[in-house]
Structure 1
Amino acid sequence: MALLFLILAVCTGSGLSESPTGVRLVRGPHRCEGRVEIERMGHWGTVCDDGWDMKDVGVLCRELGCGAAKGTPSGYLYKPSAGNEQRVLTQLVNCTGMEKMLSECEQDEDVFDCSHKEDAGASCENPDIPLPPVPESVRLVDGPGRCKGRVEIQYQGKWNTVCKTGWNLKSAKVVCRQLGCGRAINTQKSCDKSTQGKGPIWQSQIACLGQEVVLQDCHSGPWEKNNCTHAEDTWVDCEDPLELKLVGGHSRCSGRLQVLHHGMWGSVCNDGWGEQEDQVVCKQMGCGKSLSPSMKERKIFGPGVGRIWLDDVDCSGNEQSLELCQHRFWGRHDCTHEEDVAVICSD
């Protein structure tokens, strides 16, 4: 997922273009014409042309940075046509024409009676309009910690402040997630004079759906001069990251896992726990890589006492902190302390 934003700058074949929100036109004569494809859960599929019209194409062209809509050609005309391994992912798309992204339009994901002969296509006006620049990194500065502060995004080695115009809680959620902080709790605060930036201001609006892993995956509007000043710099407050410790080992990087919640330390149940969860703990604690101990090795640290805070933790391994992994509601479990998690890291 962290590499998705690189796709925006790379043409992967003749007549193929992608937007930051998982929409592309394929098999056309240039990047702004072709069969419409959308991405869902890591898989690309087509759009049924039932209800597909110029308003829908207009939104798509805007999202791809391709100017105005020209036409609604059949996607079946662009050869080779979609194969059987690709699904028709959506139909009855109904845009008002004012949306910024196709994903904001009404549409039916329960596709029925639609084959690839009915795939939607789109033709846009300007194939030479470049896509807006994609941020390289993000940080929060001038706050009381790394999880609270003024939003700055990096591009070509320079840090830019972000104007509050168009910014919302969904974008703040993505920033907090990317930085390995807790949930976003405030994005309405204004920067005072002591915390306002002094450098360049990012010249496009950023619009996130809230589910993106990194800010680079969010949609960026057209690159154009805005009227913002540093008095309108964006500030975000995230919850501080979950505090962890490993106890009972010979160093701080091995032992029974403890998490701090509501001022109380508690253990984690080993239901579903494995190497990916170990990796997240070791990374968050700055302890190198997981050594993936056996169940017998984990038992040498003994059972804990007190609260059991987490159960059924499920990580991908890419999370920056344990709280970003899926888990049961805090304090709910069906475990005993004989099932406490222990972790052994390399450092």
Structure 2
Amino acid sequence: MREAVHLDYSACENTSLISCFSFDTALSNTALELNCSDSGRLVGGRSLCSGSLQIRDQSLNQSWAGVCEGALGRRGAEVLCRELGCGTPFLQGALSPLGQTFHCEGNESALMDCPRTRTRTSPEACPALNLTCDEPLRLLGGASRCEGNVEVKYSDEWRPVSTLFDPWDLEAVAVVCRDMDCGTVVSTGKKRNSTQRYGWIVSSACVKTAAVRDCIQDDDPHAEDMDLVCSGEV
């Protein structure tokens, strides 16, 4: 157990991480773990799990470059989403079984591990490949995938979202329904966790502008689970 340095999302300015630091004498057994990809990323979306695909490797002098639409098939999209710590990819017209640049088997750990066909087409001369992966969210214990206890995956571990120290308002809860393509909020409630599982403390203010996973602040040994019912798949 050590004294903690917390990240205060409301204090963050531009891209400077130091502006987000706040010091606390409270003890914490939770360490921040980063999942970085040095070869592929999605930019311009709401979170790390959506946006336009960019890659970099030695042939690009380690600079980032866009990828043309149609260069990625379903297996390649699955590899990239997994590399970024996201869920499965949404099937889109941009995922083409023909004319692919990346030829993935699906078991690669990173997109740049897949064999590639070199293309002479400049990324600036073609539509960009846009991809959306599922956010690492789920609702458990309900009658369908759109109702139940809210859980989020972080550092390869699923835990319930705890609202004990940071209650969520309706605007924040609606983010979960939207990110899971489950429509709008029908009802929400909370209940004491009886399983002795740790929960994730997630900033209710942060989720209104960022992905739920990106708003985790700490873990909570006395989790108070959030129960949610959304209107259904859209």
Same topology, TM > 0.5: no
Structure with the higher fraction of residues in strand conformation: 2
Taking CA–CA contacts closer than 8 Å with sequence separation of 6 or more, which of the two structures ends up with the larger relative contact order? 2
TM-score, L = length of structure 2: 0.43
Bigger radius of gyration? 1
TM-score, L = length of structure 1: 0.31
